[in-house]
Amino acid sequence: MKITDVVTFRVYGRYTGPNFPPGNRQAKALDLYPEFNTEGDTSVKEKPISAIYVEIQTDEGVSGLFGPIEEPNAFTINHTLKPFLIGRDPLATELLSDQMLRMDRHGHSGYFVTGVSSIDIALWDLKGKAWNQPVYRLLGGPTRPAVPAYASMLGFSTQPEDAAKLAAEHKDKGYTAQKWFFRYGPGDGTDGMTRNLAMAYAVREAVGPGYTLMFDAFWGWDLAYATEMVQQLEAIEPRWMEEPVPPERIGSFRRLRAASRVPIATGEHVYTRWQTKELLTAEAVDVLQNDPDWTGGISEQVKICALASAFEIPVIAHGHSLLPALHVAAAQSPSTVPYVEFLLRYQEVKQFFQTTVYRPENGMVTPPTLPGLGLVLDEGKIERRESL
């Protein structure tokens, strides 16, 4: 079997899935500058949408599909990776992964590696279809019939009364853990910190003691602000504080871990096992969140899980898309990958063009039984498509 073409394409349609009311976005590093510290629209409602996918085609008619991917990924695929892949064996995923990561001396992180990730995941989809098995079976699973999902509350209101109501509702829906996103950072002064803490304490009161809560700052803080926040959060016992500072500031992570009892998480913007190793050996992290969509694909995510397990650090992937992370989780020990992240608002949009929208039921996600990833496009939802 040989790769004959690598195609990126955009599909268009009109979102008709569940609607969500406006809420608040997360804190961002640029919020330090008032001109960028604006709210924006986080509502999810009926509207025109589009999504980009990549398909790897072969001379035997078997193909691999992945998406939605981002436009820079499509650029990297079309201008760098596609010429390299034509004529290659698509089932040799380990060979192709290793060679793609060696291709560009400036491409060991960022958009180049996210492009490699998209190709790697599509290759695993192709391999699963070629062997008529779900990807998690090719990886050695399943290790459990369903994987716990935590409710990721990005884009919902952070007003204390609103957040408390939603937190109680999603606990009642069967989610055993939730993550809430702080809206304010250093540019918002002490008033912003007070608002952050009011939301966090309201959510804790709503779900009660012992319920698993996490918080995310989207690397929008600095070390001094983050230190004060985690010390103030100790009383409500978060499972982790996520990305309080940019992930390359390993020394800051170490100091932050030493400053309080709140566990520290990062990794969604960390690429490959080598960058991950630096966090682990520096004892700078309590939870890793490498995303297979970004860190190097399924091939690299499996290696990161093995590395993390040796350090007894869990890997709970960032939820850019669900299926790649779900397949890896379903093939790993629950002690290594205890949860997957489910972004309640945004997975509805990201999965809209699929025939099956994979959602948690009573807080658990059942892995697909279809060959490959289980990603099939619903032609009835596609009004038109165009090649990129």
What's the pLDDT at 40? 77
CA distance 231 to 255: 13
pTM assigned to the model = 0.97
The domain made up of 137-378 has a fold known as TIM Barrel (3.20.20)
Residue 382's pLDDT is 98
- pLDDT value for 269: 96
Determine the length of the chain: 388
Q: pLDDT (tens digit, 9 = 90+) per residue, 258-306?
A: 999 999 999 999 999 999 999 999 999 999 999 999 999 999 999 999 9
Cβ atoms of residues 54 and 118 within 8 Å = yes
Task: Quote the pLDDT of residue 330.
Answer: 98
Residues 307 and 335: beta-carbon distance below 8 Å: no
Q: What is the pLDDT of residue 21?
A: 84
CA separation for the pair 101, 60 (Å, rounded): 27
Burial class (CB in 10 A: 0-12, 13-18, 19+), 105: exposed
Q: Compute mean pLDDT per 10 residues along the chain, 388 residues long, and list them.
A: 98 93 92 90 81 98 98 97 98 98 91 98 98 98 98 97 98 98 96 98 98 97 98 98 96 97 97 97 98 98 98 97 98 98 96 97 97 98 97
Quick: pLDDT tens for 91-120.
999 999 999 999 998 888 999 999 999 999
CATH class of the domain at 3-132: alpha beta
Ranges of CATH 3.30.390.10 domains, the chain = 3-132
Give tens-digit pLDDT for 17-49.
Answer: 898 888 999 999 999 999 999 987 777 777 899
Domain with CATH 3.20.20.120 in the chain: 137-378
